[in-house]
Chain A
Amino acid sequence: EVQLVESGGGLVQPGGSLRLSCAASGFTLGDYWMHWVRQAPGKGPVWVSGVNHDGTDIRYADSVKGRVTISRDNTKNTLYLQMDSLRAEDTAVYYCTRGSVSGRLDYWGQGTLVTVSS
Chain B
Amino acid sequence: DIQMTQSPSSLSASVGDRVTITCRASQSIAHFLNWYYQKPGKAPKLLIYAASNLQSGVPSRFSGSGSGTDFTLTVSSLQPEDSATYYCQQSYGALFTFGPGTKVNIK
Contact = CB atoms under 8 A, between A and B. Distances in A.
Contact of A59 (B46, B87, B92, B95): B95
Given A102-B91, A105-B34, A106-B55, A111 B98 contact: no
Contacts of A45: 36, 38, 44, 87, 89, 98
A60 B94 CA distance: 9
B44 A104 contact: no
A47 B99 contact: no
A4 to B, nearest CB: 9
Contacts of A47: 89, 95-98
A103 B96 contact: yes
A60 B45 CA distance: 22
A59 B43 CA distance: 22
Interface size class of B (residues with CB under 8 A): 20 to 34
Contact of B43 (A44, A62, A110): A110
B43 A108 contact: yes
B32 A95 contact: no
Give the dominant DSSP class at B's interface.
loop
Interface residues of A, number: 22
A61 interface: yes
Contacts of A60: 95
Interface string B67-86: 00000000000000000010
B81 to A, nearest CB: 19
A56 to B, nearest CB: 14
A61 B43 contact: no
Contact of A103 (B32, B87, B100): B32
Interface in B38-59: 38, 43-46, 49-50, 55
B107 to A, nearest CB: 23
Nearest to A109: B43
Given A44-B85, A47-B97, A104-B55, 9 more contacts: A44-B100, A45-B38, A45-B44, A46-B98, A60-B95, A103-B34, A103-B96, A104-B50, A105-B46
Interface of A: 35, 37, 44-47, 50, 59-62, 95, 100, 102-106, 108-111
